[in-house]
């Protein structure tokens, strides 16, 4: 009885693969069983089992995500050995019918791997296959980062952002095909490139409250163009919290907070100076980017430095915050005179700060200043049809 098993150990082999019968001799590279010369005038009779491997022996630049596969016809595998340069075993599985073995882990860049396999043919004669191959050695490896962070809880406007801090991938289609988004409820969304080094996924509408989101960026081994390959895979799992939306119509001098679609709070505010467009609070749908109990504000252009304010929630890379400005109490609720921020009274700022979450939308209307498109957090400045055009996959 043949025991089906998969054995892993280092194999020393070089050159082209060879297919031989166990316990046999060879003449001119042909295999034949010892003690027999065949039926056709003394020519050796090879075993009927035929073994093949992918990558083939001697292969160069094999893909690191492509599995090593060993197959046999007219027989069943009895042993498969695959090893890296250090002799470490490569994990794999034998098929139920014993005719194939497939590796189950990625390979390393620029490495040499050896394999040896044995099979027993339907003629009850053994056969063997040996060989080695090398994997691709990238000219450059591009690292990816993924946001939100694992186990984060975020607001309903939070985008998923993949960035490449050490270089721009040329093949954007390959990048997008390596990205997967899985949600606990049905959510329509799409990827869009905001720059050469950043691709974001956002839902068509705000996320449904309490959605669980899993993201996989399976970029390791992916050819990103111009000799660059993905450095590693990254993933995250986060949750979307309650639905809270801030709305500011700048001429009204009021900041309203909606929770689950119903008005939950209304705070008097002072927004950017109306008479100077450059100081307006810009229009657009922003998100809360950070929460800072205390923040220092500097703007040499307008003559102030080291101004300390409390309960600061940043909502734009253009420099806008929602924050306390008790020193401007006389204008709050009456006049817009800030440098673009939304000023609140101290108690109101603290109340809002405690309720806010990174990723909450902040919708600003009524201003003369358009959205600051130079920002890298501008996902909601686009309507849905336009957003979809930012995808590389058509």
Active-site residues: which are they?
A: 323, 341
CB-based burial label for 128 (10 Å; 0-12, 13-18, 19+): buried
Using the CB atoms, write b or e for 170-181: b if 16+ within 10 Å: eebebbbebbee
d(CA 327, CA 351): 18
* DSSP summary character for residue 172: H
The partner residues of 69 in beta bridges, in order of sequence, read 54, 102
The partner residues of 297 in beta bridges, in order of sequence, read 307
H runs (alpha helix) in 245-345: none
Identify which of 329, 293, 326 has the alpha carbon closest to the alpha carbon of residue 310: 293
H runs (alpha helix) in the chain: 172-177, 346-355, 384-389
Helices (H) and strands (E) in the chain, counts: 3, 30
Contacts of 321 (CB under 8 A, 6+ apart): 295, 297, 309, 312, 313, 314, 315, 341, 342
d(CA 288, CA 364): 13
Contacts of 319 (CB under 8 A, 6+ apart): 299, 340, 341
What φ, ψ does residue 314 adopt, rounded to 5°? -75, 135
321-324 β-sheet, strand order: 290-299, 304-314, 321-324, 342-344
- To which H or E segment does residue 190 belong? strand 189-195
d(CA 46, CA 26): 11
Which residue shows structure tokens 């993924």? 146
d(CA 21, CA 5): 20
Whether the Cβ atoms of residue 68 and residue 115 lie closer than 8 Å to each other: yes
d(CA 87, CA 65): 20
């Amino acid at each position: 009885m043949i025991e089906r098993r998969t054995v892993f150990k280092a194999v020393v082999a070089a050159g082209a693969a060879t297919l031989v019968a166990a316990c046999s001799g060879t003449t001119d590279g042909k295999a034949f069983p010892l003690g027999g010369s065949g039926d056709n005038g003394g020519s050796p009779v090879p075993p009927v089992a035929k073994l093949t491997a992918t990558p083939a022996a001697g292969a160069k630049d094999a893909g690191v995500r492509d599995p090593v596969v060993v197959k046999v016809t007219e027989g069943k595998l009895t042993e498969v050995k695959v090893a890296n340069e250090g002799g470490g075993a490569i994990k794999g599985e034998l098929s139920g019918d014993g005719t194939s073995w497939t590796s189950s882990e990625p390979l390393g860049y620029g490495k040499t791997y050896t394999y040896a396999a044995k099979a027993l043919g339907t003629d009850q004669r053994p056969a063997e296959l040996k060989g080695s191959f090398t994997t691709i050695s990238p000219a450059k490896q591009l690292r990816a980062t993924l946001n939100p962070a694992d186990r984060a809880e975020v607001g309903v406007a939070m985008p998923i952002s993949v960035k490449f801090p050490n270089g721009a991938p040329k093949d954007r289609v390959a990048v997008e095909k390596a990205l997967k988004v899985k949600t606990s409820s049905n959510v329509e969304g799409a990827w869009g490139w905001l720059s050469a080094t950043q691709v974001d996924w956002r839902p068509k509408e705000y996320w449904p409250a309490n959605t669980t989101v899993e993201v996989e960026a399976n970029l390791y081994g992916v050819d990103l163009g111009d000799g660059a390959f993905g450095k590693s895979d990254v993933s995250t799992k986060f949750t979307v919290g309650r639905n809270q939306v801030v709305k500011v119509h700048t001429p009204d001098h009021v900041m309203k907070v909606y929770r689950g679609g119903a008005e939950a709070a209304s705070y008097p505010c002072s927004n950017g100076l109306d008479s100077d467009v450059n100081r307006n609070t810009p229009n657009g749908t922003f998100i809360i980017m950070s929460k800072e109990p205390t923040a220092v504000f500097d703007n040499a252009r307008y003559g102030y430095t080291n101004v300390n304010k409390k309960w600061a929630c940043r909502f734009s890379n253009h420099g806008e915050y929602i924050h306390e400005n008790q020193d401007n109490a006389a204008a709050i609720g009456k006049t817009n005179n800030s440098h673009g921020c939304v000023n609140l009274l101290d108690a109101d700022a603290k109340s809002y700060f405690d309720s806010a979450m990174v990723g909450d939308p902040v919708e600003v209307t009524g201003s003369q200043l358009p959205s600051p498109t130079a920002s890298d957090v501008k996902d909601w400045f686009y309507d849905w049809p336009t957003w979809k055009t930012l995808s590389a996959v058509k």
